[in-house]
Amino acid sequence: MLPNVKAARAELDELLLARIEERHIHFMAKEGTLPDDMPDCNFLLRTDLVHGAKLGIAIGGIVGLCAGVFLVAFPPEGLTLRTMTILLVMLGGALFGGWASGMNAAAVPNKKLDQYSERIEQGQVLMMVDVPVRRMKEIEEMIAKRHPDFNFGGEEPPMLAFP
């Protein structure tokens, strides 16, 4: 958390000089206080869309698996279903579950950011920076030089784009 927009601007400049691309820096401030030239939080960070979609894929896959096993065990009259049916129904359930749950979660604010909402309303600015783990210490030290009381919120486990 940074005390105000002016401090956030200074940190943005410092991070850019440290060769962190602007697309990896995100700020969240009270509505209307963040200038247009500063990178705002995107839709995926502001909402629970990603978490909801993951949960929907898991639940939809499990329900699809159960439905597929049931269909193969008790096929409709006159049909012979094979094992591939289980996989197809499971895939369909996972896709539908991810889509439906993601659509619902897109309307819900990100639960991880709730802890900062009160301070954001007071005029502070939340800064999120996506950096490789090997550069975290360097970036934290750089920020701590300017803001000794800076509150480092921690780190998220790395997410693989394509497992």
Render pLDDT for 15-73 as a digit per residue (tens, 0 to 9). 888 888 888 889 988 888 888 888 888 888 888 898 999 999 999 999 999 999 999 98
CB 12 within 8 A of CB 38: yes
Give the pTM: 0.69
What region, left, alpha or beta, does residue 123 occupy, with left being phi > 0 and alpha being psi -120 to 50 degrees? left
Amino acid occupying residue 24: H
Percent of the chain with pLDDT over 90: 25
